[in-house]
Copies of this chain bind each other. A is one copy, B any other.
Amino acid sequence: MTTTQARTEPDDAPGTDPHAGTPGAHGSGHGPHGYSAQKDAHLKRLRRIEGQIRGLQRMVDEDVYCIDVLTQVSASTKALQSFALSLLEEHLRHCVAAAAEQGGVELDAKVAEASAAIGRLLRS
């Protein structure tokens, strides 16, 4: 199964990056949102999930038995949830903790926001 993912194109149009002006700021791994430190790990995970989705296309294309396709869907969903969880953990560690230092309204807003995100994950 080739999940090659060759990428010859220039990376993701930095010109359209809202954070542009500091393109070098990524990669260095100290982004503004906590998760940048582990950016490479996140991207690697997501590329693997992309490979799984491509694998699903091949399976459907080749008339693989539905139950086997479903097993692979479960694996992909699990991988996505696991990615979400690691993102969330970083968010709690950095953003929510930072808000806690400010306390009050700021903290309440961050916690409500994180809880809403967890609620969406639970329902998906």
Q: Which residues on A are within 8 Å of B, measured CB to CB?
A: 1-2, 8-9, 11-13, 16-19, 21-22, 25-26, 29, 31-36, 39, 42-43, 46-47, 49-50, 53-54, 56-58, 60-67, 69-71, 73-78, 80-81, 83-85, 87-93, 95-98, 100-101, 103, 107-108, 111-115, 117-124
Contacts and interface: CB of A to CB of B under 8 A. Distances in A.
Contact of A117 (B50, B71, B98, B112): B71
Contacts of A64: 18, 33
B39 A46 contact: no
Contact of A66 (B46, B62, B95, B108): B95
Which 8 pairs between the two chains have the least Cβ-Cβ distance?
A: A31-B63, A100-B100, A97-B100, A89-B115, A18-B58, A77-B124, A74-B120, A74-B124
